[in-house]
Each structure stands twice: as C-alpha cells, then as structure tokens.
C-alpha cells in the first residue's frame, strides 16, 4: 500500500481538545521518524533564541548551560546546583486540511528537566539529569491507495510516545582559556502507532498496531574558549559535535481484521532509526560584565541516513540563533568581610530560524521564533528562578500542509548550596 500521509489531512482530535494537561501537543509531522526532535535544552539559553554554545556558568550566576558539556567546568567551587523546568505550550493549527474548527488548538503543561550539577574539583565539573529528546503525538485522517489498483481508502492515524535522555556530563578546564566536555547519554522511550483502514478492504476495519521500544547510547563532545580583549570586553567561543548514532529497537507488530488477528510479530532491530552527524558552533561577547551577545549555528546531516517515503524525505537541516542578555550584578560582603559579586537578575531576548530536516511534497519545512527571558537570584537564600517566553511558527499552508503557530512559557526553579566543605572543629 502507498501511504499518503499529508494529501488529505483532516485533524479530528488534538490530544482530547484545547485543555489537555500532562499530554504532548499534537502535530501531524510527528508521525515521521521518532517524532518531533526537541530543540531546547531548557536552560539559560531558552530566552536568547537558544544561542549560547559558547556560554558557561560562573561564580556570579546560578543557572546552568546544557547545550555544551564543556560549560560545567565554570561552576563555582564547593557548590552543587539543582534545576527543574516546567513548560506550558499552546498551539494553533491552520491550513486547508483543518476541517474541524473546534479542534484547531491544543495545549499542555509538563515537567521537562531535572538536573544536578556539581564542581568535583577546581577544574572538574559534572552534571547528571534527565532531558526530553523527542515527542510523537498525532491524530488525523488521511487517504491510502491500494498498490496495483486505483482504490483509495480513508485511513485514521493515531500515535503517541516520546524519547528521553538520561545523561552524565563531565567537563575539565585545561587552562584559563580552554575547557573540554563530554555528554554521555542513554536515549530511551516508547512509540505507539495505530493505523485503521475504515472501508474498502474488507467488511470490517483493518487495524495495524506498532509498538516500538527504543534504547541506545549517544555521545556529544564540546569545547569552549574564552579570553579578554580588553578590561571590559570578554570574547567566548564554543563548539559541539556528535557522530551518526543508530537507535536500536524492539518492535511489536499486530494486524487485526475486526476481532480476528491476522499477524502478530515481535522482533529486534539494531538500526530502527539513525541520528545524524551534528555540530554546533557559536561565539559570544561579554561587555562590562553586564551585556552579552551570542550567536550560534547548528547543522545536522540527515540526507541519506534513513529511508524516505513517497511524499516526504529527510534532508540536511540548519538553525541560526541570535541572543542578547543584560545582567545586573550587586556587591556584598561575606562572613569573612570579603567583597563578592553576585547576579541579582537578568533580562534576555533572542531570535532563531530553522530549515528543518523534514521535506514534505518537495517543500522543506521551516520554523522561526522570538524569545524572551528573565531570571533572578535571591542573595540571602539559595533559590533562583528563570521565566521564558517563546512565540514561533512552523510549517506552511501551501500544498495542502498544516501550519503550526505556538506559544511556549518556561519556568526553571534553581536551588544551590554547599556540597563539600571542610570544617575546622575545636574542642
């Protein structure tokens, strides 16, 4: 049978309506591959258009940077950092396939990140945590053509699932200019797909169910360089890279005609889906320790590493990011009388543009957005918080496709405290 996913889309159910919580937002494009790949690390770069591969934490701020594993060497000595992020996302869908005006929106609220980072030695920082990797959630009608005939069958497609990455990252500062890092993660998850032929093949409905359990190791290396151009200007540069990675999977396939089982098959596949060679490069400048300007470029080599279909193919993708930040510092005295500097709050904005890895009916999907961010630290306690807002658009209404306009709100909660301090005791 020849699958024609996007030619006659009619979205009939988007995760149960407009107020579904603790669910993934629906997207017809997430039927492809392992779903929509997460572009965000849910860190301090979220308000800067996701630009910040050159940036790292330092003694004055408490917020983490996950995009580059080399960043953790900049953590403050003798402290551990804990971060948890929640995200709200609302999406509106437009295009000729949208036939149900009451089902053109979806929304969700999810916890997206749990990370702990510590400074093990003066030059060695590390982090451990859980981050999302991809999501798949869709529900729509399409049409399918029976191979060898002109019969067109209405088909209902439904899928859910996600993949996540449990990671351990290590970073080492070679000298005052250069840091190296390695992000080691295990990507795991489950995808469930159901396709129902509604008529034209048999007297009852023909249903195909696929359940896929994924699991593979994934590695990403990084480096950061920093130097002072003058007393008030600091120049930073960073880069990350990862190799092609095959995701292994246990597949369960079941085909039923009404209540009659036609096929039940379980098998292991060591190359269910390939992740591409990917690299990111970025530069940043800090001025007077108040203003930060950052720019990143990300490239992913998707072309030819996974099978293509009749109406879509995976192509090389690029993302361009630009961000700006203002940071307000204050001075205070510690219990020994030393004058220290700490960040009180920061404000951010940024933009990004992406040529995605999806090409549907010869049209490469694009995504672009505007971001804002703000955060604060409480000097007299160990708490901090960051809020972010993103407004973006993906896809097009041309050639019968669906355009997604979305709004995301992030909230990151930060806690920092001593984790290893030698205390002198006197009898």
Range of the domain at 151: 2-418
**Looking at residue 379, which CATH number applies to its domain?**
2.40.160.60
- pLDDT score for 98: 77
Q: Is residue 199 part of a domain?
A: yes
269 within some domain: yes
Q: What pLDDT score was predicted for residue 336?
A: 58
Q: Flag residues of the chain having pLDDT under 50.
A: 1-22, 423, 425-427
pLDDT of residue 18: 33
Question: In this structure, is residue 30 part of a structural domain?
Answer: yes
In a domain, 424, yes or no: no
Q: What is the pLDDT of residue 16?
A: 34
Residue 230 lies in a domain: yes
Distance CA 362, CA 259 (A): 39
Query: In total, how many domains does the chain have?
Result: 1
CA-nearest of 365, 370, 369, 368 to 395 is 365
Is residue 37 included in any domain, yes or no?
A: yes
Query: Would you say residue 427 lies in a domain?
Result: no
Specify the pLDDT at position 4.
42
Q: CA 119, CA 418: separation in Å to the nearest integer?
A: 10
What is the structure's pLDDT at 399? 87
Q: Is residue 91 part of a domain?
A: yes
* CB proximity list for 307: less than 8 A, separation 6 or greater: none
| Tokens found for residue 16 | 């149960």
In the three-class reduction of DSSP (H, G, I as helix; E, B as strand; rest coil), residue 103 is classed as helix
Distance, in Å, from the CA atom of 275 to the CA atom of 360, rounded to the nearest integer, reads 19
């Amino acid at each position: 049978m020849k699958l024609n996913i996007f030619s006659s889309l009619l979205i009939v159910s988007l995760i149960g309506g407009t107020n579904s919580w603790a669910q993934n937002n629906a997207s017809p494009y997430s039927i492809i591959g392992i779903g929509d790949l997460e572009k965000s690390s849910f860190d301090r770069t979220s308000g800067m258009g996701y630009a910040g591969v050159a940036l790292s934490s330092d003694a004055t701020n408490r917020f983490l940077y996950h995009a580059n594993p080399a960043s953790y060497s900049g953590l403050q000595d003798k402290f551990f950092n804990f971060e948890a992020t929640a995200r709200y996302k609302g999406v509106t869908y437009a295009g000729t396939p949208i036939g149900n005006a009451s089902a053109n929106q979806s929304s969700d609220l999810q916890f997206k990140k749990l990370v702990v980072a510590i400074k093990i030695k003066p030059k060695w920082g590390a982090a451990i945590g859980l981050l999302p990797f991809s999501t798949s959630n869709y529900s729509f009608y399409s049409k399918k053509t029976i191979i060898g005939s002109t019969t067109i069958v209405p088909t209902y497609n439904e899928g859910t699932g996600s993949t996540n990455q449990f990671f351990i990252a290590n970073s080492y500062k070679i000298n005052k200019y250069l840091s190296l890092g390695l992000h080691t993660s295990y990507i795991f998850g489950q995808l469930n797909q159901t396709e129902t032929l509604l008529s034209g093949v048999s007297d009852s409905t023909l249903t195909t169910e696929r359940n896929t359990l994924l699991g593979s190791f994934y590695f990403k290396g990084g480096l950061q360089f920093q130097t002072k151009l003058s007393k008030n200007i600091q120049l930073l540069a960073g880069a990350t890279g990862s190799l092609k990675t095959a995701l292994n999977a246990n597949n369960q396939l079941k085909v039923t005609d009404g209540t009659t089982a036609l096929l039940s098959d379980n098998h292991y596949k060591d190359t269910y889906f390939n992740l591409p060679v990917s690299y990111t490069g970025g530069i940043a400048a800090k001025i007077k320790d108040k203003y930060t300007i950052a720019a990143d470029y990300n490239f992913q080599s998707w072309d030819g590493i996974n099978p293509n279909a009749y109406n879509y193919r995976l192509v090389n993708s690029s993302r361009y990011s630009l961000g700006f930040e203002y940071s307000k510092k204050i001075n205070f005295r510690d219990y020994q009388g030393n004058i220290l500097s700490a960040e009180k709050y920061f404000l951010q904005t940024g933009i990004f543009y992406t040529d995605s890895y999806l090409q549907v009916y010869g049209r490469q999907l694009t995504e672009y957005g505007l971001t804002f961010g703000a955060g604060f630290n409480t000097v007299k306690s160990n708490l901090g918080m960051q809020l972010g807002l993103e407004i973006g658009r993906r896809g097009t209404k041309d050639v019968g496709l669906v355009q997604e306009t979305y709004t995301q709100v992030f909230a990151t909660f930060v806690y920092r405290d001593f984790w290893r301090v030698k205390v002198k005791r006197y009898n």
